[in-house]
Amino acid sequence: MTKATIKDVAKLAEVSLKTVSRVINKEPSVSRTKVLIVEDAIKKLGYKPNLAARNLRSTKSYAVALVYDNPNPYYVIDMQNGALNACRDKGYGLQIHPCYSDDSSIAQDLVQLVKTADLAGLLLAPPISERADIISILRDNDVHYVGIVSGSKENDELSPCICVDDRQAAYEITDHLIKEGHTDIAFFWGEEIHKSSPERFSGYQDALKDHHIELKEEFIFEGEYSFESGMKNAEKLIALKQKPSALFCSNDEIAAGALTAFNAAGLTVPHDIAIAGFEDSPFSRHSSPPITTAKQATQSIAEAATNSLIHEIRPDARSKGEEKPKTIYSPSLIIRPSTTGKD
Amino acid sequence: MTKATIKDVAKLAEVSLKTVSRVINKEPSVSRTKVLIVEDAIKKLGYKPNLAARNLRSTKSYAVALVYDNPNPYYVIDMQNGALNACRDKGYGLQIHPCYSDDSSIAQDLVQLVKTADLAGLLLAPPISERADIISILRDNDVHYVGIVSGSKENDELSPCICVDDRQAAYEITDHLIKEGHTDIAFFWGEEIHKSSPERFSGYQDALKDHHIELKEEFIFEGEYSFESGMKNAEKLIALKQKPSALFCSNDEIAAGALTAFNAAGLTVPHDIAIAGFEDSPFSRHSSPPITTAKQATQSIAEAATNSLIHEIRPDARSKGEEKPKTIYSPSLIIRPSTTGKD
């Protein structure tokens, strides 16, 4: 079968190429009747529009970049896949741009990138999206962007953004541990530069407070979002005279590292110490025992952020009947044997 | 400090903007003296060329796409990072294009993508790079591409490509198991659509043959490159009356899944059964015990392939003194406690 072209669609629909292109690009100024006729022709011919209409438009950029600084491949791939879902749907290409968020020239580099790589806009992952200094420079240079930010409400300094309510999910995990009978609950931090770290810590703090449980400084360990950091802090925890009976790790990699250290030291989870993580990455699913966690809908979040970005760039790109994407996402508690002992 | 611009470079070097642009783009037709003067000015000003010179050139595309169908985030991220190293060095943007290699319209879709997204070329990961039917259509449509292919020598049907000698590495792993005293060695396959699967199997076969060890059909298990496939096949292996004393898994995810199943069944690794994987992914490093494997230089391989692609597109882009990238890579054996019992 020969592949249908945009010309075939125009011929079958009896409209001009330009009209087909407008329908594909979801531009206004095409009558409802014509939209239906063209959509019908596209369906009949099995024509795949994708980026095809672009040739008929010349100057506009049809690529956006995903900008991130994150060492976790599962998180990055989910983010990319979510962004790609939205990009493909709207006929955009996705460039990737991993970078170092502590690089002093990052904001200027991004402005330069947008100009020279001819990008329509940037999708910013945390922690870059959470740096008001970077955002301010992007705004000054009229760069289109949408960020993904840890928080329970929109933040004027960082918006437009999609929020992830880490605090609430951390509250629920801590509440779950307390209801399992624990009062001595340790906390392993991720990097402070990620807003998710203090947000998760604050959920932990609030849950303890609401249950009138005193927070013990010796149970709080600074660290990073990594397996190695989890192992290291678990070894320190094992050395404590008064050990906690439960541990809340700021993500699943930390939790998997801690679990490995506990196993090596002959401690049984959850009998000797219960463990919870965060993210629902394969680290929590593939460990033994599997680890209680909070499921982050990273892919949906990235898709929503990318849709927001494209609407920001081209308000006319919104599909008919398409609602404004949700702006606040809450990770949901997933209970597994690492805190209950039950399979 | 204000950021240096291309104009500052031109001023300091006392040459035209066009000459600076040509030097950055590594175009020929600039005298050696001028190249040195411009490079010196770039260095003095701390100017970051990146994609900046592109505005001075108009029609050429400065983006390539990485095309892949692989569920392993570690592999994909390594591949992306390698491709990005080369792209950034040469002033190209990298789009990503995950897809389904069993989609019947994939070749036509790629041709379309190159045209409409205005890409300079495609970097193809296996198994897409290993499909002669896809390659043939790309050639017919004058699409620039370079593939990464499992094999020990260049393959006319698939070239240009960078080869990964999976067979040789699998031979070495099997040889190591035999030297540890094993003669009953099981083999867990990955998907056959990946050429790496039969290549790894053939290395296993050849090593057995060279050591005059009979291959036993009941020890060969078909499967996929996944944790779940490893668990499932390990459960079948445990049910065998005559169990093997060692197991070679086609990748680390399979090996980690098998290890989890053995642990659950109360079998000790390597005492009851030795396990080897392939890839040196975190699955093999973070398991207990850590798993013997073959280290694949995925990032360097992707970087070499991308350099090849850019040279293919623009033969003038090669840096002075830059050698043609290596075209055959051999993964190297990494021995860990899962086969030796020693830490």
Across residues B59-86, what is the average pLDDT? 90
Across residues B203-215, what is the average pLDDT? 98
Q: Mutating which of B2, B47, B69, B77 best tests the A interface, going by the most A Cβ atoms within 10 A?
A: B77
Looking at the complex, report in whole angstroms how far the Cα of residue B229 sits from the nearest Cα belonging to chain A.
Answer: 13
How far is Cα of residue B67 from the mean position of the Cα atoms in its chain? Answer: 12
Report the pLDDT value the prediction gives residue A27, as an integer from 0 to 100: 65
Q: Which residues of B touch A98 (CB under 8 A)?
A: 80-81, 84
Q: Which residues of B touch A81 (CB under 8 A)?
A: 98
Contact residues, chain A to chain B, C-beta under 8 Å: 3, 48, 50-52, 54-55, 62-63, 65, 73-74, 76-77, 80-81, 84, 93-96, 98, 105, 108-109, 112-113, 115-118, 227, 256-257, 260, 263-264, 282, 286, 288
Cα atoms in the Cβ-side hemisphere of radius 13 Å centred on A322: 17
CA–CA gap between residue A277 and residue B44 (Å, rounded): 48
Report the pLDDT value the prediction gives residue A58, as an integer from 0 to 100: 40
B94 to A95: CB separation less than 8 angstroms, yes or no: yes
As a whole number of Å, the CA-based R_g of chain A is 24
Report the pLDDT value the prediction gives residue B194, as an integer from 0 to 100: 93
Q: Please state the φ and ψ torsions of residue B287, each to the nearest 5 degrees.
A: -85, 165
Report the pLDDT value the prediction gives residue A48, as an integer from 0 to 100: 75
Residue B332 has pLDDT above 80, yes or no: yes
CA–CA gap between residue A73 and residue A283 (Å, rounded): 12
B55 to A95: CB separation less than 8 angstroms, yes or no: no
B209, B214, B219, B225 alpha-carbon torsion, rounded to 10°? 10
CA–CA gap between residue B277 and residue B253 (Å, rounded): 8
B116 to A55: CB separation less than 8 angstroms, yes or no: yes
Q: How far is CA B11 from CA B53, B55, B190, in A?
A: 15, 18, 58
Report the pLDDT value the prediction gives residue B18, as an integer from 0 to 100: 79
Q: Identify which of A62, A63, A112 has the shortest CB distance to residue B50.
A: A112
Report the pLDDT value the prediction gives residue A20, as an integer from 0 to 100: 84
Residue of B nearest to A105 (CA): B3
Q: Reduced to 3 states, what is the DSSP secondary structure of residue B35? A: helix
List, in sequence order, every residue forming a beta bridge with A276; answer none if it has no partner.
A248, A292
- Higher per-residue pLDDT: B29 or A192: A192
Report the pLDDT value the prediction gives residue A2, as an integer from 0 to 100: 64
| Whether A277 contacts A293, CB under 8 Å | yes
Q: Mutating which of A95, A114, A259, A262 best tests the B interface, going by the most B Cβ atoms within 10 A?
A: A95
The full 3-state SS of B39-87, as one line of letters, equals HHHHHHHCCCCCCHHHHHCCCCCCEEEEEECCCCHHHHHHHHHHHHHHH
Average per-residue pLDDT for chain B: 90
Q: How many CB atoms lie within 10 A of CB B313?
A: 21
Q: Identify which of B54, B95, B113 has the shortest CB distance to residue A116.
A: B54
Report the pLDDT value the prediction gives residue B58, as an integer from 0 to 100: 40
| Whether B234 contacts B257, CB under 8 Å | yes
Strands (E), chain B: 63-68, 93-98, 121-124, 145-150, 161-164, 185-188, 220-221, 246-249, 274-276, 293-295, 328-329, 332-334
Closest CA to B106 of B137, B83, B76: B137
3-state helix, strand, coil in chain B (%, to 5): 45, 15, 40
CA–CA gap between residue B45 and residue A177 (Å, rounded): 57
- Higher per-residue pLDDT: B116 or A254: A254
Structure tokens at A314: 């081209």
Say how many CB pairs under 8 Å bridge A and B.
99
Closest CA to A267 of A252, A281, A249, A247: A247
A9, A15, A17, A22 alpha-carbon torsion, rounded to 10°? -100
CA–CA gap between residue A264 and residue B241 (Å, rounded): 32
CA–CA gap between residue A41 and residue A27 (Å, rounded): 18
* ∠ CA B251-B254-B259, rounded to 5°: 120
Q: Which residues of A touch B258 (CB under 8 A)?
A: none
List, in sequence order, every residue forming a beta bridge with B221; answer none if it has no partner.
B188
CA–CA gap between residue B139 and residue B82 (Å, rounded): 25
Predicted confidence (pLDDT) per residue in B296-324, tens digit:
999 999 999 999 999 888 876 666 666 67
Report the pLDDT value the prediction gives residue B321, as an integer from 0 to 100: 65
Report the pLDDT value the prediction gives residue A38, as an integer from 0 to 100: 87
Looking at the complex, report in whole angstroms how far the Cα of residue A123 sits from the nearest Cα belonging to chain B.
Answer: 14
Model confidence pTM above 0.90: no
Report the pLDDT value the prediction gives residue B26, as an integer from 0 to 100: 67
What is the pLDDT tens value at each position of chain A, 343 positions in all? 567 888 888 889 988 887 887 787 766 667 778 888 888 888 888 887 655 444 444 446 789 999 999 888 889 999 999 999 999 988 899 999 999 888 888 999 999 999 888 899 999 999 999 999 999 999 999 999 999 999 988 888 999 999 999 999 999 999 999 999 999 999 999 999 999 999 999 999 999 999 999 999 999 999 999 999 999 999 999 999 999 999 999 999 999 999 999 999 999 999 999 999 999 998 898 888 999 999 999 999 999 999 999 988 887 666 666 667 788 999 999 999 999 988 7
Helices (H), chain A: 6-13, 17-24, 32-45, 73-90, 106-116, 132-140, 166-179, 196-210, 227-238, 252-264, 282-286, 298-313, 337-340
Report the pLDDT value the prediction gives residue B29, as an integer from 0 to 100: 67
Across residues B81-85, what is the average pLDDT? 96
A51 to B98: CB separation less than 8 angstroms, yes or no: no
| Whether A163 contacts A152, CB under 8 Å | yes
Across residues B128-154, what is the average pLDDT? 94
Segment among A176-185, B46-55, B87-96, B326-335 with least mean pLDDT = B46-55
Across residues B208-220, what is the average pLDDT? 97
Interacting residues of A210 by C-beta distance below 8 A, sequence separation 6+: A175
Report the pLDDT value the prediction gives residue A304, as an integer from 0 to 100: 95
Report the pLDDT value the prediction gives residue A326, as an integer from 0 to 100: 80
Buried b (16+ CB within 10 A) or exposed e, B165-183: bbbbbbbbbbbbbbebebe
